[in-house]
Structure 1
Amino acid sequence: MTPDDNPFFSASDLPYQLPPFGRIRDEHFMPAFERGMAEQLDEVAAIVADAEPPSFANTVVRLEQSGQLLTRVARVFFNLHSSDATPEIEAIDREISPRYAAHHDAINLNPGLYARLRAIDPQSERLDAESTRLLEDYLRNFRRAGAGLDDEDKATLRQLNSELASLTSEFAQLLLADTNEAAVIVDDVADLAGLPEDAISAAANAAEERGHAGRFLLSLVLPTEQPALASLENPNIRRALFEAAVTRGAQANQNDTRAVISRITALRARRAHLLGYPTHSDYQIEDQTAKTTDAVGSMLGDLVPAALQNAKRELAELAEFAGVEEVAPADVQFYSDKVRQQKFDVEAVRYRPYFELERVLHDGVFYAANRLYGLTFTERHDLPVYHPQVRVFEVRDADGGELGLFLGDYFTRETKRGGAWMSNFVDQSHLLGSKPVVVNNLNISLPAPGEPVLLTLDEVTTLFHEFGHTLHGLLSDVTYPRFSGTSVPRDFVEYPSQVNEMWMLWPEVVENYARHFQTGEPLPQQLIDNLLASRIWGEGYATTSYLGAAILDLVWHALEAGEVIDDPLAFESQALAASGLDLPAVPPRYRTSYFNHIFAGGYSAGYYSYIWSEVLDADTVDWFKANGGLTRENGEYFRKTLLSRGGSVDPLEAFRTFRGRDPEIGPLLLRRGLGGNACERG
């Protein structure tokens, strides 16, 4: 193919190097992957063959500049595989994933390249701090990738990596298929009593799109807890929806994920042993801010007793309210919402009319970013997108300078995986002269045409959360693409996004966006006060559910080489019982069979990172509150000391520069009701 035939063969000439989605077709991916991999291997071979003594410029910088065609096609393809996985895309993924893994092995296990990296002396070259860190990062990652192994072990490692790439792709495809097939079909609208009208409309629309005109479809979100469980009055429908959620991937059908999980965890354990680590969790966490599995296990274990105490107290209160001895798992959210209403006068359905997507996005999320960082957002209708539902916004800095592009992909569809996430199409880098192109994905139910998109409280939180990741990408100011934006340890990456959630109910922000979609009236202050007062309610359940998933992740990845788990559900039960988290009414946020984060999403032995990062988040929220809140001065300081640095500095050192000290856990314990007087507030 010539550049005219394949849009990946040359750099995009669109603003900010936005991929030319209007020209990209499925048949372009494989030729672009193949040429891109071949080109990068040639570039690496040229580095190794260079007769000049190894230097930072002729080795590390050239590595950073290599593989640009491959980066272009990979960024588009793997984003599409998450957000618009058509059968054609899935077929390509099955073919390319093991080959892509093998390509990276060919670079990471290249002995000549590793020798050149080790020969570079940062002191004699007088490298600046970011360049020194880049060299150290390459050396560490080559070592961890197996560059020091002998040829026989390298061959084994290549085989393991290739099979793991195929298996994680298979898990994602099985889970997506089962999530779609497990959606609950309802025949009679009376069975949806309790759901707001717009949610019923969305269910009718979803059913019609799937070929069930005249019926209603309750699609599943990724976590165990389904939002509709808090509102549905029919206990039979609640039970059907709950069972559909918790049995995904665990039925003896073509979408059963259990055998794949057994194989993935066994291979990860073998690979860790080959690389010199006792377990996969030891391998993964060594490269995070936590450093050791023991540190993570200790932190999680310390939180369990208080979380369980609060959860059991909440469950007892629910049972008393419902007049039963014990509340069934499918009914917990329903009665929890009722108790919240009774205690705090907070009824979720009363808030939705004030959370219309356009208002939340423009007058909430964008408004806060403008107040803090001076950013402005202009929608571009002249630029191509990969799906009709995607929107593009040009982002400019406070001085009017071009900053990057932001893409919003907000609605659920059969080809999109569950959950919410941020990703990049283009990384910011001064070396490459590139500015960021960032995308946010959510899974909001699409209402019938002409009806407003009204969000739940959780969806508003998610919108602010994911945009926190976007800010981390957009505000990046680094030289090397390897350090751009969110290229930080997994247990640090959630920190900026969690901080951004604070602005959701910040007075100036909520007053600006929370307006009734029909009347324009602001959300009553009493409802805001009630919502703030109610936040501690349900934290026992939420924390216990989260800890169940985080501990499951660690236990699955604490297997040693040779251990194979034939019955994943029995293993899960034993692990929860051993940690004291085997409460039937509080299932893990993700059960093993649909734990996409750890079996397909890059969070293996890293799901703990959300609460680890929340320590930094809660401490940072206290700083903003103590220093005047939503001001440009505060935003610029946070941007300069932390958001802009990406992975170019040690993340905890960046936090210390921002905060002036090490993080403290007290604010997190208070927020989650896990210490002192906070427990009494539940």
Structure 2
Amino acid sequence: MKLKTLSVAVLAAAALVACRGDQTETAADDVATAETAPAAVEAADTPAADDVVVTDAELAGNPFMQEWDTPFGVPPFAEISDDHFLPAFKKGVLELREEIAVIVDNPDAPTFENTILALETSGDLIVRVGRVFGPLAGTELNAKKRELQTVIYPLWTRESDKITLNDTLWQRVKTVYQQRDTLDLGEQEARLLELTHRDFVREGAALDAETKAKVAAINEELSGLTTRFAQNLLTATKAFTIEITDEADTAGLADVFKASIWDDEKKAWIITLDRSVYETFMTQSENRELREQAFNGYRNRASDGETDNGPLAIKIAQLRAERAALLGYDSHAQYVLEYNMARTPKGAEDFLLRVWRPGLERAKQERADMQAMVGDEFAIAGHDWWHYSEKVRAERYNLDVNELKPYFDLDAVTQGAFEMAERLFGITFTKIDAPTWNEVVTAYEVKEADGAHLGVFYFDMYARDSKRGGAWMNSFRGGSNIGGNSIRPVVTNNMNLTRPPEGEPTLLRFNEVETLFHEFGHGLHGVMTKIDYPTFSGVDGPRDYTEFPAQILEHWASQPMMLDMYAKHYETGEVIPGALVERMLDAANHNQGFRTTEFIAASLLDLRWHMLSAEEAAQITDAREFEKQVLTEYGLIEEIEPRYRSRYFSHVFAGGYSAGYYAYLWSEILDADGFNAFLEAEDIFDPTVAGRLKKWIYEAGGLMEADELYRNFRGSDPSIEPLLEGRGFDTATASDS
């Protein structure tokens, strides 16, 4: 159903997580499922499901009720105020109810056109409003939008359940599905029917009335809990700062970084938990005491007082387990993974452990290397890892990350990504003057090689107080082509770079370059779609597949041919020297044990939370104790924290990655094996391989099951060996583990 795209991709801000799982910067928020469309903390002011009223006066002058006379029909952001969202959303609810009633009350026998297609084309207004509100809530959050979240999201949760749990509607869908072999449907129409039927079944449509009511109640409660979790985390993250007033305490910090965090009003250098700031500070600072303070601030977020997310994590896990049991599954993880490439919780866990064991051994060696550098002065602790790992890198590879940054200017890197897309796929990017939601945002028209319009691509690169952390991709409008009415996507890439002082360039660390290429891949997956139906258009597929189109593009970022195109010194224009590139590539797997271990620790923690049966989940009373028990069982060393502790694991407790955080690493099987196709062709822009990648991955959306799409591109199933080799792990050792 098209409406699924609202639940999954809009109402929790349609975020696709930033980076491949082994990178150290990741987003705090992700793609939502229906349950994660947040609800009210106090729901008293939320309209009841049968009490949605909006007047003509409330809709007067509302931009959502008008055609948008803007370039390519993008939202007129300056004309849309916060007061416009709720009236338009309510109107959308009422229109949606009327459209569903027409389907349900149709006296004619169910057909593809009067049931499946009618469902797919319903809800235009509610989707239009949600696709603007969700992304803006992620980048321009204020008190009013917070309040709107507590009304709009639970209202949508109830309306969505009313559709998928409507027995008459379900009977019509089931009837059409049972006739599928006699309908002579086209490939895309057959897929739409299959996915519509699947969605109804998985949402509980085939259950008895009493069980449906229980599922709906759980969905609504989860909706509220996930919002509280996300808002608690945002509040706790933004509340933490370290103000440095003594310049001696800035020892080790690069001048450009110091300039970017200087607060002229407070006359202090301000350290926040924004990932770009936190990571740079932990790497550069010579002040061990301040590093420990920042480290504890980061890992103890949302752990006490009014923002304590521990009880919420427990309750969310319990409700998910209870709902899974009602739907006929042993656990929430079994439910989630049913149509993922891993298929089962054990399949995901076994895969993780195959990489975990060599990763953990490597991490122990890295710890020993750092301890050897420190000597007997002190024992290496978690807050030392970033700093001394960088010192080991500098000594071992004669490489200082600050030596690289002058060659990675944001504008040049972006243009490099554009050139890569043109060489691979024949598409072009042209900067346009279009409405934006913030002065730092830039807009581009994307065209096919023949000049045909593909969509609009926005870039919102800088951190600000109103913006959540991390990096992600949004869609303000999806793509479709129903009845010859071609609608092209409007997508945006978001990062949280530290804005430099006025007149200075934005210079990136190389992992930020990789993140930009990653998010660009998500954006291309959204904008290049050739699928007619919104249900599986653009960024679609199981969680352990949807990172593949993003992660594969990271490989181009470090290719010497690509670096020659975009890695030029921001002052001199000199191409990055080959010797420096060689040192950078030699050091690529430095600290890989840490990166692998912290990521897999979080992935295993996610799985274990969601492998609980309803009875097991009911026994959990302390989130931290459960977490410690799980990580001790797997043998995590105390110097390494999981990438996310439970209380700030927004991916799984307020986003769409529950039982699916492992997906980044699983997708790395695909991206490593997939990029090998270009290496085998001895041309990173080989037109034949690129043509298959374009057709079967970027254009195909969810046209087929993920493994079929991959085989059509690659010609075979993926092999895990390129992943292990890419991380510098011994494949024989990993296989024997």
With normalisation by structure 1, the TM-score equals 0.95
* 1:262 maps to 2:301: no
3-state SS of paired residue (1:395): strand
* 1:484 maps to 2:540: no
Quote the Cα distance in structure 2 between the aligned partners of 1:143 and 1:191.
59
Quote the Cα distance in structure 2 between the aligned partners of 1:66 and 1:646.
20
Deviates more, 1:140-149 or 1:562-571: 562-571
Quote the Cα distance in structure 1 between the aligned partners of 2:541 and 2:686.
26
* 1:160 maps to 2:214: no
Quote the Cα distance in structure 1 between the aligned partners of 2:277 and 2:97.
43
Q: Which residue of 2 aligns with 1:671?
A: 726
Report how far residue 393 of structure 1 moved: 0.9
Letter of the 1:14 counterpart: T
Maintained 8 Å contact 1:552/1:572: yes
* 1:420 maps to 2:471: yes
3-state SS of paired residue (1:226): helix
Report how far residue 520 of structure 1 moved: 1.5
How big is each residue's C-alpha offset from its partner over 1:126-175, in whole Å with a ceiling of 9 and x where there is no partner?
01222112111111110110111222222221111111111111111111
Quote the Cα distance in structure 1 between the aligned partners of 2:174 and 2:307.
46
3-state SS of paired residue (2:480): coil
Deviates more, 1:613-622 or 1:289-298: 289-298
Quote the Cα distance in structure 2 between the aligned partners of 1:71 and 1:10.
15
Quote the Cα distance in structure 2 between the aligned partners of 1:380 and 1:435.
16
Q: Which residue of 2 aligns with 1:301?
A: 353
Maintained 8 Å contact 2:253/2:284: yes
Quote the Cα distance in structure 1 between the aligned partners of 2:658 and 2:146.
22
Report how far residue 673 of structure 1 moved: 2.5
3-state SS of paired residue (2:77): coil
Quote the Cα distance in structure 2 between the aligned partners of 1:40 and 1:433.
22
* 1:643 maps to 2:701: no
Q: Which residue of 2 aligns with 1:520?
A: 573
Deviates more, 1:121-130 or 1:106-115: 121-130
**Aligned match of 1:613 in 658, 667, 678?**
667
* 1:505 maps to 2:558: yes
Maintained 8 Å contact 2:446/2:457: yes
Q: Which residue of 2 aligns with 1:397?
A: 448
Quote the Cα distance in structure 2 between the aligned partners of 1:39 and 1:116.
21
**Aligned match of 2:370 in 298, 312, 318?**
318
Structure 2: state its 5+ residue gaps.
1-55
How big is each residue's C-alpha offset from its partner over 1:417-459, in whole Å with a ceiling of 9 and x where there is no partner?
1111111111111115210111111110112222211111121
* 1:181 maps to 2:239: yes
Call closer, same or farther: CA 1:156–1:223 in 2, change over 3 Å. Answer: farther
Deviates more, 1:235-244 or 1:600-609: 235-244
Q: Which residue of 2 aligns with 1:568?
A: 623
Call closer, same or farther: CA 1:195–1:632 in 2, change over 3 Å. Answer: farther
Quote the Cα distance in structure 2 between the aligned partners of 1:290 and 1:15.
42
Q: Which residue of 2 aligns with 1:470?
A: 523
Call closer, same or farther: CA 1:384–1:426 in 2, change over 3 Å. Answer: same
Seq. identity, %: 38
Quote the Cα distance in structure 2 between the aligned partners of 1:461 and 1:359.
14
Quote the Cα distance in structure 2 between the aligned partners of 1:337 and 1:244.
21
* 1:199 maps to 2:254: no
**Aligned match of 1:95 in 151, 166, 188?**
151
Deviates more, 1:650-659 or 1:255-264: 255-264
Letter of the 2:720 counterpart: I
3-state SS of paired residue (2:573): coil
Q: Which residue of 1 aligns with 2:47?
A: none
- Structure with the greater relative contact order (CA < 8 A, sep ≥ 6): 1 or 2? 2
Report how far residue 366 of structure 1 moved: 1.0
* 1:18 maps to 2:69: no
How big is each residue's C-alpha offset from its partner over 1:72-96, in whole Å with a ceiling of 9 and x where there is no partner?
1111111112122111111110122
3-state SS of paired residue (1:424): strand
**Aligned match of 1:54 in 89, 110, 115?**
110
Quote the Cα distance in structure 2 between the aligned partners of 1:112 and 1:568.
42
**Superposed, which structure 2 residues align to 1:232-631 within 5 Å?**
232-250=285-303, 252-324=304-376, 326-362=379-415, 364-381=416-433, 383-431=434-482, 432-562=485-615, 563-564=617-618, 565-581=620-636, 583-627=637-681, 628-631=683-686
Q: Which residue of 1 aligns with 2:61?
A: 5
3-state SS of paired residue (2:586): helix
Report how far residue 407 of structure 1 moved: 0.7
Call closer, same or farther: CA 1:105–1:561 in 2, change over 3 Å. Answer: same
3-state SS of paired residue (2:699): helix
How big is each residue's C-alpha offset from its partner over 1:369-401, in whole Å with a ceiling of 9 and x where there is no partner?
1111122212222x2112222211111111111
How big is each residue's C-alpha offset from its partner over 1:534-564, in whole Å with a ceiling of 9 and x where there is no partner?
1122111111111100001011112222434
3-state SS of paired residue (1:104): helix
Maintained 8 Å contact 1:130/1:649: no
Letter of the 2:714 counterpart: R
Quote the Cα distance in structure 2 between the aligned partners of 1:307 and 1:489.
26
Letter of the 1:377 counterpart: F
Maintained 8 Å contact 1:224/1:245: no
Report how far residue 37 of structure 1 moved: 1.3
Structure 1: state its 5+ residue gaps.
none
CA RMSD of aligned residues (A): 1.7
* 1:33 maps to 2:84: no
Quote the Cα distance in structure 1 between the aligned partners of 2:732 and 2:461.
39
Report how far residue 222 of structure 1 moved: 5.3
Maintained 8 Å contact 2:677/2:689: no
**Superposed, which structure 2 residues align to 1:90-169 within 5 Å?**
90-120=146-176, 121-169=179-227
Letter of the 1:56 counterpart: F
Deviates more, 1:103-112 or 1:225-234: 225-234
With normalisation by structure 2, the TM-score equals 0.88
Report how far residue 213 of structure 1 moved: 2.4
